[in-house]
Amino acid sequence: MTPERWLRIERLFDAALRVAPAERERWLRRSCDGDDGLFREVSRLLACDDWAEREGFLPPPEASDRPGDLTSTWPPPGSGRRSADEEGGASPAGPTGGFTPMAAIRRGTGEEPSRSDEHQASARQRLLAIIGLYIGLALVMLAWKYLVARDPEPTQAIPYAVLIATCLAAAVLIRGPAPIPPWRLRLLELGLIGMVTAVFAFSQYQAMLHFSLRGDPLRAQFAMNHRVLIAAILILSYGLYAPVGWRRLALVVAPIAVAPFATLFALYLRHPAPMAWLGEMDQDHGTSPLALISFDAMLLLILAAGSASGAYLISRLRRQVREARQVGQYRLRRKLGAGGMGEVYLAEHQFLKRPCALKLIKPGVESSEKALARFEREVRLTATLSHPNTVEIYDYGRTEDGVYYYVMEYLPGMNLAELVERYGVLPPERVVHLLRQICLALREAHGVGLVHRDIKPSNIFVSQRGDVDDVAKLLDFGLVRPSTPAGSPRLSEEGRLLGTPLYMSPEQATGRPDLDARSDLYSLGAVAYHLLTGKPPFGEGGTIAILVALAHDPVVPPSRLRVEIPEDLERVVLKCLEKEPDQRFRDAESLESALGQCRCAGGWGPAQAARWWRDSGHPVGAKAASDAPLDPSEAPSGKRPPAGSAE
């Protein structure tokens, strides 16, 4: 095969992956245009991809434990070594762990609150509890036989010893670090129960035979009764510890219940002579064997039923607990991410069924009054803003057990930090398009006296809302403070520097108390710089070095890093990045109009945005592609311009 042909295969493979699986073959055949060899080759690769996906072929090697750092670029331009965030990992939150959980709102990549893991853990725990019970039972039996009853056959200890050894081995296996597949756990569980039943049946057989041979039918009867009691314990414990469906429970419990009688029956058949006392009971003692045995059987039946209903009850409670991952009227779906003090879940309103992002603050995580106050303030302040480019707050509340939460719109898409990390630097016209939207959101916030204070790429989300692509949303007003001069500016109540220093304004970095709206404009300029060049204006060295550089060093003009950045846009960005607030734009509105006057301003519109999302391979865009007609290169058109953008 030649590299040229391989390139064709590569393109087709790539495009085919974005076509819905059902349509793939048809699409591929059409695209191959009669070239059967090509079709076969790509189909084979697609099948292999499918197989690799299913079988987990070549999974990502374990991420090695390297210390996190400020940025996620490697290799370093200068200093020592630096590392990336774990792949696909959390959004690049600042080293100080700023309050940025909303940055984690994104689609698809968030981890499930791993129900199966929890399930596994509890299955292991249950099994361990059962094993402990069995070992205890066997030990008590042995102790009783040798210390209290004092007359066993020495060989009677063997089955118990085997049982204890097996149980210990199983316990070691379960406690080991290696994950055990669920079916193997289940098998282990069934094997253990079968073994316990067999051991007790065997010892019942032995004991009853032993006493019968000694001509002691009374002790033999006792042995039978003990055996029934033990069966009762087994049945109950299984029902309690293994809350499975009633069918499986019945399958397990029935043999345990039947075993004592089956053993007795077997004993009677094999040794009719010594067991003759059973038949003679009627005459000698006035009790028929039927009466004796049927009572035991009844007892076990009642217990089995009780155990089954107990198991049912417990499994229902368990399910309820799981469903109690419900907060207020919202049902939590999966975890989207976690930040400094809260976790963000994809949630759904009970009745509206509208997907939304729910941010939880657990009392256990941060219970200080101040943290809660900050949380409440964030919600209230954000909720006062209604600009379409500000994230919308739907709801806010506190559950009975003191968990604060608030609910905001769920944004499919990604934040700007991820956008740059995944897709590289943005074309200037797109930067203008996105920033103008944020300017409008800021205008409203500044207008009511709010300074965001933590504008950074991970706090700006690019999303598809309605039919509109590339809607920018400003998130996380966690650090918002009324801009009236009050309170300490850069240290939070906990005395930490909040937020990442990479996008801080110089006045913020030096801790000047009189922050105003122009501090946000600086940060926005820094974001623009990052979008255009792939890195923040000052990113070298540690936190301290950055803070110092922010205050003193001149900015390297973006065009020095990337020549094609238009001169007029660069001027706007550099003006935002002026050290002196007075030399920046007066307000967000004038920044917006300056951006609008850039020559590239009209260059990115709905059509470009739509094409980008479709071609990006991002889940959101990919979905659109698979819904679209067969040919992925066909562009849908006729979209409205994004809300908030003037053109």
Partner 1 sequence: MDSSGELTRILDRARAGDSRARGELVDAIYEELRRVAAGMMGRERADHTLSPTAVVHEAVIRLLGEEVFERTEGRGFLFAAAARAMREVLIDHARKRSAARRGGKWRRMPLDRVVDYFEEQGLDVVAVHEALDRLAELNERQAQVMTLRYFGGLTVPEVAAALGVSVVTVERDWRLARAWLGPQLQQGREA
Through-space distance between the first and last CA atoms of the chain, rounded to whole angstroms: 49
Q: Per rule CB under 8 A, is residue 316 in the interface with partner 1? A: no
Residue indicated by tokens 């669920």: 182
Reduced to 3 states (helix: H, G, I; strand: E, B; else coil), residue 344 is strand
Instruction: Please give the backbone phi and psi of residue 463, each rounded to the nearest 5 degrees, phi first.
Output: -140, 170
**74 binds partner 1, rule: CB under 8 A:** yes
Nearer to partner 1, 62 or 580 (CB): 62
176 binds partner 1 (CB under 8 A): no
85 phi and psi angles, rounded to 5 deg: -60, 160
Q: Which residues contact 553 (CB under 8 A, 6 or more apart)?
A: 538
- The nearest distance, CB 44 to partner 1, in angstroms, is 8
Angle formed by the axes of helices 276-285 and 217-241, nearest 10°: 110
Minimal distance in Å, beta carbon 424 to partner 1? 4
C-alpha closest to that of 538 among 504, 583, 565: 504
Q: Which member of 17, 128, 254, 292 binds partner 1 (CB under 8 A)?
A: 17
Candidates 74-82, 279-287, 342-350, 489-497: pick the segment binding partner 1 (CB under 8 A): 74-82
Q: Is the peptide bond before 255 cis (omega within 30 degrees of 0)?
A: no
Q: What string marks each residue from 424 to 463 as x (binds partner 1 by CB under 8 A) or -?
A: x---------------------------------------
For partner 1, what does the binding mask look like between residues 87 and 126, x meaning CB under 8 A?
A: xx--------------------------------------
Q: Is 495 in the site for partner 1 (CB under 8 A)?
A: no
Question: Do 6 and 45 form a contact (C-beta atoms < 8 A)?
Answer: no
To the nearest whole angstrom, how small is the minimum distance from the Cβ of residue 536 to partner 1? 15
Q: Which residue has the tokens 């990992």?
A: 89
H helices within 534-645, ranges in order?
A: 543-552, 558-561, 567-576, 588-597, 606-615, 619-627
The answer to the question of residue 184 lying near partner 1 (CB under 8 A) is no
* 503 contacts 536 by C-beta, under 8 angstroms: yes
Q: Which residues contact 303 (CB under 8 A, 6 or more apart)?
A: 232, 235, 236, 257
By CB under 8 A, the residues from 30 to 69 that bind partner 1 are: 44-46, 48-49, 51-52, 57-66
8 A C-beta contact, residue 345 and residue 312: no
Picking from 609, 461, 426, 438, the residue whose alpha carbon sits closest to that of residue 534 is 426
Quote the least distance from Cβ 4 to partner 1, whole Å: 10
CB atoms within 10 A of CB 114: 12
Q: List the Cα angle 372/99/329 in 5-degree steps.
A: 55
Encoded tokens for 335: 């975890």
> One symbol per residue from 393 to 422: x for binding partner 1 (CB under 8 A), - otherwise; what is it?
----------------------------xx
For partner 1, which is the closer residue by CB, 25 or 86?
86
- Return the range that interacts with partner 1 (CB under 8 A); candidates 8-16, 158-166, 459-467, 605-613: 8-16
Closer CB to partner 1, 12 or 573, in the complex: 12
Chosen residue from 84, 240, 383, 551 binding partner 1 by CB under 8 A: 84
How far apart are alpha carbons 40 and 12 in whole angstroms?
12
| 73 lies in the site for partner 1, by CB under 8 A | yes
Residues 591-620 that bind partner 1 (CB under 8 A): 616-617
Residue 66 CB, nearest approach to partner 1 (Å): 7
For residue 339, the minimal CB distance to partner 1 (Å) is 20
The window from 11-19, 117-125, 163-171, 218-226 that contacts partner 1 (CB under 8 A) reads: 11-19
Binding site for partner 1 (CB under 8 A): 1, 3, 6-7, 10, 13-14, 17, 44-46, 48-49, 51-52, 57-66, 72-78, 80-81, 83-88, 421-424, 616-617
